[in-house]
Amino acid sequence: MDVVISSRVRLARNQSGLPYTTVVLDERINTVAKLAYEAMNKRERFGLLKMSNVGTVELGVLREKRLVSLDLIKSRKHSSLIISEDEMLSIMVGEEDHLRIQAVLRGLKLREAFTKANQMDDRIAAKIKYSFDPELGYLTSCPTNLGTGMRASVMLFLPALAIMSKGNIAGNLGTPNITVRGIYGEGSDADGYMYQVSNSRTLGVSEHEIIDTVTKTAEHLITTEARARDLLINNDPVGVRDQIVRAYGILTNAYTITAKEFMRLIALVKLGVHYKFVEIRDAQRLETLIIEAQPSGISYASGRELTSEERDICRADYVGKILKSLTDTKIS
Angle of helix 110-125 versus helix 28-40 axis, rounded to 10: 120
Percentage of the residues of the chain whose pLDDT score is greater than 70: 92
Domain boundaries, the chain: 4-227, 237-326
Render 126-172 in DSSP notation, one character per residue: TTSPBPEETTTEE--SSGGG-BS-EEEEEEEE-HHHHHHTTT-GGGG
- Beta bridge partners of residue 100, listed in sequence order: 12, 92
| pLDDT of 187 | 58
Q: What's the fold here for domain 4-227?
A: Creatine Kinase; Chain A, domain 2 (3.30.590)
Separation CA 292–CA 287 (nearest Å): 9
pLDDT at 98 over 80: yes
Confidence of residue 146 (pLDDT cuts 50, 70, 90): very high
| pLDDT of 90 | 97
Per-residue pLDDT of 35-62, as tens digits, reads: 999 999 877 789 999 999 999 999 999 9
Residues in the chain: 332
Confidence of residue 139 (pLDDT cuts 50, 70, 90): very high
Radius of gyration of the chain (CA): 21
| pLDDT of 260 | 94
pTM equals: 0.90
Find all residues with CB under 8 Å of 267, minimum gap 6, and list them. 157, 159, 192, 193, 194
Percentage of the residues of the chain whose pLDDT score is greater than 90: 72
Q: Which has the minimum average pLDDT: 97-101, 175-179, 214-218, 274-278? A: 175-179
In this structure, are residues 190 and 218 in contact, taking their beta carbons and an 8 Å threshold? no
Question: In 3D, which of 314, 193, 313, 328 has the Cα closest to residue 248?
Answer: 328
| Residue 258, CA distances (Å) to 191, 272, 309 in order | 12, 21, 9
| pLDDT of 38 | 94
Render 203-264 in DSSP notation, one character per residue: SSS-HHHHHHHHHHHHHHHHHHHHHHHHHHHHH-HHHHHHHHHHHHHHHHH-S---HHHHHH
Q: What is the mean pLDDT of residues 19-34?
A: 80
Q: Report angle CA 147, 151, 157 to the nearest 5 degrees.
A: 160
Per-residue pLDDT of 205-250, as tens digits, reads: 999 999 999 999 999 999 999 999 999 999 999 999 999 999 999 9
| pLDDT of 135 | 92
Per-residue pLDDT of 148-207, as tens digits, reads: 999 999 999 999 998 988 767 766 666 678 888 877 766 567 788 999 999 998 989 999
Strands 132-133, 150-157: parallel, antiparallel or unpaired by DSSP? Answer: unpaired
Find all residues with CB under 8 Å of 308, minimum gap 6, and list them. none
Return the exposure string of 157-166: e unless at least 16 CB atoms fall within 10 Å of the residue's CB, then b: bbbbbbbbee
pLDDT at 100 over 90: yes
| pLDDT of 28 | 85
